[in-house]
């Protein structure tokens, strides 16, 4: 660990940490251990097991018995990452809400650092730094997140405008697992997220973008913080690791469906025209990076049909 553990600090502000879990038995314990070592002691940890078929259930049951601040919720069937997070959001009671993927981990002072920034800035959203980490070889990978060198301090809803005006995708803004949000922002967003949840079953990819766009389009004060260590872990079992034609097409369909969900939401709140530069940037990605995989996996016809189905032309 990069930070030595100090005596635990109490605070009246409760932080809910939401951890969706699905078939990550080789990485889950590392995530759990990092949560046990946090220097901030007013944590509420909610694990949602999305009907894992490996040993995650046993690992979680054992862990929760030994953790006074942890709760385990089980889905009877696999629903999706979006709905696993939604289940946790509906159950949490914290003043602040943080997201953590179950194959990632955080250093000891992570939540203490982020919540202190949220409080001192009166922020709705706080981005944290993260490091891409090869868990197998225990190495920090390059390139690092550009957030490490960026200072974000936007007020009066200006961050969403800034995001929309970018002519390229900056995915570090759209991950949900490197964000902490305020309870008041969640309550503001809850009706939109609840409506999206009705059609989100099976949404495997792009759900981070859905959550982040809803949060950021409703946030007034958006900041980031340095001095944190969130390890975004890279391994062969990740959802974006395309090893088969079937998996690639399933992930592509989910990504395109998330774009449609975002479009419908932004049209509903009158912000879609503002977001059009980002739509163009996403379409360029589908026509380049995803096209490469389509030919590599020998499914260009299916790829083209999917893009046309979701209104992406000139392929």
pLDDT at 4 over 50: no
pLDDT at 1 over 50: no
Model pLDDT, residue 168: 82
Instruction: State pLDDT tens for residues 196-211.
Output: 999 999 898 899 999 9
The model's confidence at residue 240, banded by pLDDT at 50, 70 and 90, is low
pLDDT at 238 over 60: no
Residue whose C-alpha is closest to residue 133's, from 151, 116, 119, 145? 145
Q: What is this structure's pTM?
A: 0.92
pLDDT at 190 over 90: yes
Query: Looking only at Cα atoms, what is the longest distance across the chain?
Result: 59
pLDDT at 315 over 60: no
Residue whose C-alpha is closest to residue 205's, from 115, 306, 73, 63? 306
Instruction: State pLDDT tens for residues 133-181.
Output: 887 777 888 777 889 999 999 999 999 999 999 878 888 999 999 999 9
Neighbours of 75 (CB within 10 A): 18
């Amino acid at each position: 660990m990069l930070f030595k553990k100090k005596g635990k600090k109490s605070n009246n502000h409760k932080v809910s940490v939401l951890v969706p879990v699905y078939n990550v038995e080789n990485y889950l314990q590392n995530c759990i251990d990092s949560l046990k070592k946090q220097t901030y002691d007013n944590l509420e940890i909610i694990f949602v097991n999305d009907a894992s078929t490996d040993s995650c259930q046993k690992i979680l049951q054992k862990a929760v018995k030994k953790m006074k601040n942890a709760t385990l919720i089980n889905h009877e069937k696999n629903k999706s990452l979006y709905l696993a997070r939604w289940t946790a959001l509906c159950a949490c009671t914290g003043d602040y809400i943080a997201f953590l993927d179950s194959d990632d981990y955080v250093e000891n002072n992570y939540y203490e650092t982020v919540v202190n920034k949220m409080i001192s800035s009166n922020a709705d959203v706080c981005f944290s730094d993260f490091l891409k980490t090869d868990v197998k070889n225990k190495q920090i990978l390059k390139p690092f997140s550009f957030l490490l060198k960026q200072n974000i301090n936007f007020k009066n809803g200006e961050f969403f405008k800034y995001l929309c005006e970018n002519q390229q995708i900056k995915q570090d803004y759209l991950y949900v697992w490197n964000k902490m949000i305020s309870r008041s922002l969640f309550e503001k967003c809850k009706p939109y997220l609840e409506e999206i949840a009705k059609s989100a079953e099976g949404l495997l990819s792009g759900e981070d973008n859905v959550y982040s766009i809803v949060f950021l389009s409703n946030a007034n004060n958006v900041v980031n913080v340095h001095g944190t260590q969130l390890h975004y872990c890279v391994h062969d079992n990740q959802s974006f690791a395309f090893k088969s034609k079937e998996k690639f097409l399933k992930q592509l369909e989910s990504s395109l469906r998330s774009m449609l969900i975002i479009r419908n939401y932004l049209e509903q709140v009158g912000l879609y025209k503002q977001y059009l530069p980002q739509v163009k940037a996403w379409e360029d990605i589908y026509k380049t990076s995803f096209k490469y995989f389509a030919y590599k996996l020998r499914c260009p016809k299916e790829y083209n049909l999917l893009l046309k189905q979701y209104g992406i032309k000139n392929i």
